[in-house]
Structure 1
Amino acid sequence: MQQEVLSKQLDFAALLHDVSNIFKGTSLVLNQIIDGAYGHSLEEIRPFLIKLQEMNERGKSLADRKTIFLEHNSMAAVQFDMFDFLQRNYFQYQAIAQCHSLNLHYQTQALYKHGTQVRADSISIERMLCNLVTNAIKYTKKGDIFLRLLNQEDDLVIEIEDTGCGIAAEQLSNIFIPFWRSPQSRLSDKPGRGMGLYIAWMVAYAHGLSMRVDSVATQGTKFTIIFPCKDDGIYGIDDRMLPKSPKQVGSRRSEVGSFDIKKV
């Protein structure tokens, strides 16, 4: 009973975290529009208004969900094109990155071995992506952020890489713990609840995905999410979701600061 209560509390805290992030993002872009950063005519600011509308719809979809993402419900899985999905999200986060004087790049391949069709809970995948990209923006003072869609042998891979502050090797095993924040981030001017990476990890686990973290302190961080190729040529989950109570399985490489999260 106590474990069930704790799980529901974490679910609710995760939901508040993600909805709050959406409000912060829309507020940031709105203030830029008011200041004239994107122009003054309706035609000039229309693309950014469309992005704001899409962000608002994402927040609405979270609030309207009948189940919370930590409940492994295969009925929520749909088939969609990851190439288009990432491109749409890229255009939304590009404006936020621009507000922080950062460059956000979307890099793709000319051809994909098995296409880019994915079977997954798209709302949860969007939450995972949102937390990884916004974290990259938050902890990068200057430079570039890269969102990539690649093939790794037969699998489909998403990479989010930044040129930010990085993560110390001895702290990597803690970054997916809910409410945990590194000593450096607690001393910085970047507010946070320590929930973003926990949410990303839980979404990856729920979909049977592998997540890898490569980081070098003061140089940057790269998250890699691997969608395994299935027999039917569609990446992502099978007809079932994985059981609850995930476990962390990791291997660290001290020279580069790597940490792997794999399904168990």
Structure 2
Amino acid sequence: MDSTTHKIYHEHGFDSRKHLEDYLSDNPDTAFGDDALIFPMENLTSLFRRGHINGDVLIDLTSGSLVHHLYAACEFFQHIIVLKVSDRCIMELKRWLDSRTGAFNWGHVTKLHADIEGNSDQYEDKEKKVRSAIPHVMKCDLEKENMTDPIDLPPADCIISAGLLDVICKDKDDYRRYLRKFSRMLKPGGHLILIGTLDITYYTVGKDKFHAFTYDEDFARKAVAAEGFVLDSCKVKKRTSVSDLIDYKGMIFVAAHKDPLV
């Protein structure tokens, strides 16, 4: 399939449940545990443990119906506001938040996070804490100046974006443009956490192949700095999974804060 015929995440939509099952489930055949789960969760846990990232509002701008990246954050913010571009992703996430029958089982992630934190005795309470920390799941329009128009969100203390820029950006200008939008949603000095895939050109969900924006560590570092952020840390992990569902070469974890003088 030529790359020009690949579907676009926020324009064509995709099967959010199939995405979870193929990339993030506890199925032994799922190949992405080390890269998609352990790498971001270990880095997020370490980052929040330092104690300097916290506050009233965290905004989550992440692809699909992912929730694992919020386990480490839920105890450091009063409110986590999740923004999604599609109704299907919202429905899938709300099914889990409301503990409905048929919801995706994140139990393996709950155990993984407890093991990473060294608090296996708190295993039973962790999912409740994550659910209670997310009062709002809202649809957003990425192209509007105010993504949540007509609702104005309060300036955020932190934004986490996992995988979203990889799948919505068509080129480097798009990446920088969305970083500027993220910046406008943050308080001066607010924190930005980006989790992404390096040197990717496509990913597959079901029978559909989707476009992905190709970039490397050097570009991500320079783009973040160019949009008024101070880079606090950048971690890269080489790919360990073996699968033709997706062709990335590595994972990247970026932590930065908005320069209060910009």
Fold conserved (TM > 0.5)? no
Higher strand share: 2
Q: With CA pairs under 8 Å and 6+ residues apart, which has the higher RCO, 1 or 2?
A: 2
Normalising to structure 1: TM-score of the pair?
Answer: 0.28
Normalising to structure 2: TM-score of the pair?
Answer: 0.28
Pair member with larger Rg = 1
Higher helix share: 1
